Amino acid sequence: MELDEFKALYQAHFELVPDKSGTALEEMLRKRSYTAIERILRNLLWEVGAALVILLVLAFVMVTWSSTVFRWVGGFLVMLSVIQVVAFIRQYRQLSARLNWSPGTVKQYLQEMEAIVSRFVRVYYRYCMRSIPVAMVVGGLFGGYVGVTDNRTDPAFSALPERPTILFVVMWLVFSVLLVIGTYFMLKWYIQRLYGQYLDELKACITQLD
């Protein structure tokens, strides 16, 4: 973590706000919230860039690898990446438009920004959490298809054993469960790291104005 990020978080959560006049306090909190929103905007751009890179990689693999299964899955992932890019750019523009536009009091401004970020984090979290069971269902369908038809002509299935042992099935199930659990906690940490901590800082600024 960068030094300025650590300092901002420490001040938001541990330091007491000095006894200042209303105007001075509002100005201090406005600057603190401005920094938090700038970090959110930076992370939004970072995720847009990452999604574009994923799009290029998926497109390259889909063209060069003769796997029909991967092309179907890759096409679905490309569609999700496009939706994510559009949604994140829209969120970026919405926050940027309000960053230097603050009618009313500082508290009203902070409440409006907090509402926008809170709604985005809530929707993003639900989207990520619902993607986990969807991925499990898709994986189960492909596994069931191979098990029932014994069709391993697609390159994506060529590495699977022809007659999997009980040990192989058990190990694969254990690995799948651990992967799902790990993905769940990783996504929670990821969203908190990129957006949640700055949303908490905005809420702390609003609380100090009460």
6: in domain: no
Q: Nearest-5° angle of CA 47, CA 121, CA 91?
A: 55
12: in domain: no
The alpha carbon dihedral of 188, 193, 195, 196 has a sign of positive
pLDDT of residue 6: 42
7: in domain: no
8: in domain: no
68: in domain: yes
pLDDT of residue 166: 81
CB 208 within 8 A of CB 29: yes
111: in domain: yes
Question: Structurally, how many domains does the chain consist of?
Answer: 1
**What does the pLDDT profile of the chain (210 residues) look like in tens digits?**
454 554 454 444 434 444 444 566 556 666 767 788 888 999 999 999 998 998 898 888 888 887 777 788 888 888 888 888 898 999 898 888 877 666 667 778 888 888 888 999 999 999 888 888 888 887 777 777 666 666 667 676 776 667 777 887 788 889 888 988 999 999 999 999 999 998 898 888 888 776
26: in domain: yes
Domain with 106, as residue range(s), is: 20-153+160-209
pLDDT of residue 46: 93
52: in domain: yes
pLDDT of residue 3: 44
